[in-house]
């Protein structure tokens, strides 16, 4: 079945939104499913070239005709989603929300803000984890998206819609969130983890799809892994700073990144092969994307690998014992690899 699943192989912010957007265009996807909650933002590029960050909608909402789906495994912040719907201009003809998706309410955000989650594990305190706990408690059907009057025009059965797409051999992209190193089940750094599993299998379950529906699993990496600010957990390799990356890569500008939800500076480290090897073992990807390769050498931002960045890509392939299939060299640049070279897409 023609399903592509996009997941992160480190600690999130690997560029999954860019990859999912590319796949939706490249494969003329009929539907793109976003799973997870409002505690992570995916960056996409509009046809105008402007960048937008979406916390609920799949990045295909910015430039594709694909149907945008929020599945039963989604955790929805009503106000965040409505703002994104208004910003992207999506209508019920292009957005379907599963009636069993779960609503994040003010009580969830307040509970996390009043807790020690922010200090203890670097949580975004978006309310997603508290909503997961409420869902497990199974108190009321009013917690489901189908009970929301504002969302009613968009409510339906996402799994049934996907099954119809696949019955007609139409491509589906599942846009996973966060990264393998944050998985509640598989992170080597528990409890410094998120509130859900972040593997391909979990994304499929949240979307209402079967493993035998899958054509390919796309594992997305970045040259320098990041974690959110604060006590968010260890890296498996040396933690460095953005000034070091800028100096080593001959960048004239500052490279400091901020989290898309809280706008706090991201922590950054050297590439760690071990967490990626774990992610490969659990996800069994058919395709591997290495983003932010231009951080290695500013010269790679013109869309071609330099000797320095090409050497780095070769090193990563050796460290993880897998070839790199695509490299990212900028916000909207994704180049396939051929014989160690990045070629025009």
- Whether the CB-CB separation of 28 and 51 falls below 8 Å is answered with no
pTM of the model: 0.94
Cα 227 to the chain's mean position, in Å? 14
Q: Locate 56 and state its tokens.
A: 């609920």
**Banded model confidence at residue 331, pLDDT cuts 50, 70, 90:** confident
pLDDT for residue 121 is more than 90: no
Q: How does the average pLDDT of the chain come out, rounded?
A: 92
Q: Identify the DSSP state of 208.
A: T
Q: Locate 178 and state its tokens.
A: 């966060």
Provide the pLDDT for residue 127. Answer: 84
Q: Locate 142 and state its tokens.
A: 């009013």
- Report the C-alpha gap between 255 and 242 in whole angstroms: 6
Mean pLDDT of 210-239: 94
**Of the listed ranges 279-293, 312-326, 328-342, the one predicted with least confidence:** 328-342
Beta strand 333-338 pairing with 326-330: antiparallel
pLDDT for residue 345 is more than 60: no
Task: Please give the angle made by the CA atoms of 144, 7 and 271, to the nearest 5 degrees.
Answer: 135
Provide the pLDDT for residue 111. Answer: 78
Peptide bond before residue 191 is cis, with ω within 30 degrees of 0: yes
**Banded model confidence at residue 68, pLDDT cuts 50, 70, 90:** very high
pLDDT for residue 19 is more than 90: yes
- Report the C-alpha gap between 42 and 19 in whole angstroms: 10
Range list of β-strands (E), 223-286: 226-227, 239-240, 267-269
Mean pLDDT of 35-47: 87
Among 148, 4, 159, residue whose Cα is nearest residue 85? 148
Mean pLDDT of 258-283: 91
Cα 215 to the chain's mean position, in Å? 19
- Report the C-alpha gap between 37 and 243 in whole angstroms: 32
Backbone angles phi, psi at 10, to 5 degrees: -130, -115
pLDDT for residue 155 is more than 80: yes
- Whether the CB-CB separation of 281 and 260 falls below 8 Å is answered with no
**Of the listed ranges 3-12, 14-23, 35-44, 287-296, the one predicted with least confidence:** 35-44
Residue 32 forms beta bridges with which residues?
68, 173
Task: Please give the angle made by the CA atoms of 227, 319 and 181, to the nearest 5 degrees.
Answer: 25
- Report the C-alpha gap between 123 and 48 in whole angstroms: 33
Task: Please give the angle made by the CA atoms of 199, 270 and 226, to the nearest 5 degrees.
Answer: 50
- Report the C-alpha gap between 128 and 103 in whole angstroms: 9
Higher pLDDT, 198 or 109: 198
**Banded model confidence at residue 152, pLDDT cuts 50, 70, 90:** very high
Domains and CATH numbers, the chain: 3-100+152-220 (3.40.440.10), 226-342 (3.90.170.10)
Q: Locate 122 and state its tokens.
A: 């670097």
Cα 52 to the chain's mean position, in Å? 14
């Amino acid at each position: 079945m023609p399903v592509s699943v996009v997941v992160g192989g480190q600690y999130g912010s690997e560029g999954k939104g860019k990859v999912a957007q590319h796949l939706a265009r490249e494969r003329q996807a009929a539907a793109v499913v976003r799973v997870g909650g409002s505690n992570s933002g995916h960056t996409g590029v509009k046809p105008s070239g402007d960048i937008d960050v979406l916390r609920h909608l799949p990045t295909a909402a910015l430039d594709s005709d694909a149907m945008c789906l929020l599945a039963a495994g989604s955790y929805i912040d009503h106000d965040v989603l409505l703002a994104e719907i208004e910003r992207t201009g999506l209508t019920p003809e292009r957005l379907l929300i599963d009636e069993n998706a779960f609503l994040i309410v003010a009580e969830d955000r307040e509970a996390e803000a009043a807790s020690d989650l922010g200090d203890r594990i670097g949580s975004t305190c978006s309310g997603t984890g508290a909503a997961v706990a409420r869902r497990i408690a199974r108190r009321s059907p009013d917690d489901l998206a189908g009970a929301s009057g504002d969302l009613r025009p968009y409510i339906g059965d996402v799994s049934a819609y996907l099954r119809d797409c696949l019955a007609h051999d139409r491509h589906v992209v599942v846009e996973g969130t966060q990264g393998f190193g944050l998985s509640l089940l598989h992170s080597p750094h528990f409890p410094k983890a998120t509130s859900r599993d972040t593997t391909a299998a979990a994304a499929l379950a949240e979307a209402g799809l079967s493993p035998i529906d899958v054509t390919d699993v796309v594992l997305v990496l970045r040259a320098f892994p990041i974690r959110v600010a604060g006590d968010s957990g260890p890296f498996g390799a040396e933690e460095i700073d953005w000034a070091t990356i800028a100096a080593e890569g001959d960048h004239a500008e500052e490279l400091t990144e901020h989290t898309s939800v809280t706008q706090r500076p991201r922590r950054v480290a050297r590439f760690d092969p071990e967490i990626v090897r774990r992610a490969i073992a659990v996800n069994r990807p058919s395709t591997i994307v290495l983003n932010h390769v231009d951080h290695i050498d500013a010269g790679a931002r013109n869309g071609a690998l330099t000797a320095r960045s090409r050497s780095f890509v070769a090193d990563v392939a050796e460290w993880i014992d897998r070839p790199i299939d695509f490299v990212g060299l900028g916000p909207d640049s994704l180049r396939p690899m051929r014989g160690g070279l990045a070629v025009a897409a």
